[in-house]
Amino acid sequence: MDAKKIAFKLASVSDINKIIRMYQRGFKILFETYHDTETNPYMESKDDLYRKINQKDSYYYFILQDQHEVGLIRVMLDSEDTTHAKFHQF
């Protein structure tokens, strides 16, 4: 069996357009089903993403499979409790 290599790559502000495309691909069906313009990441603006990616203790990582970007996660560290973090997957 050929094992797939999984890795993570830190995203930066220069990756905003890729992040937006991943949000839209990942959340399109939910948006089309519920038409949620308030909270669905499908509708996330570039300004909102700039704010999130530049937020203290907030990091976006691309999930790589065999060097191809196949997913995205956001890690938010708890600045008061260093033993906790929140993860969001896309």
Domains of the chain are 6-89 (3.40.630.30)
Give the tens place of pLDDT for each residue, 8-34: 999 999 999 999 999 999 999 999 999
Among candidate residues 44, 22, 40, the one with its CA nearest the CA of residue 31: 40
Structure pTM?
A: 0.84
Query: Which tops the pLDDT comparison, 88 or 31?
Result: 31
Give the C-alpha separation, 77 to 57, whole Å.
5
Q: Which amino acid is at 12?
A: S
Among candidate residues 56, 49, 44, the one with its CA nearest the CA of residue 14: 49
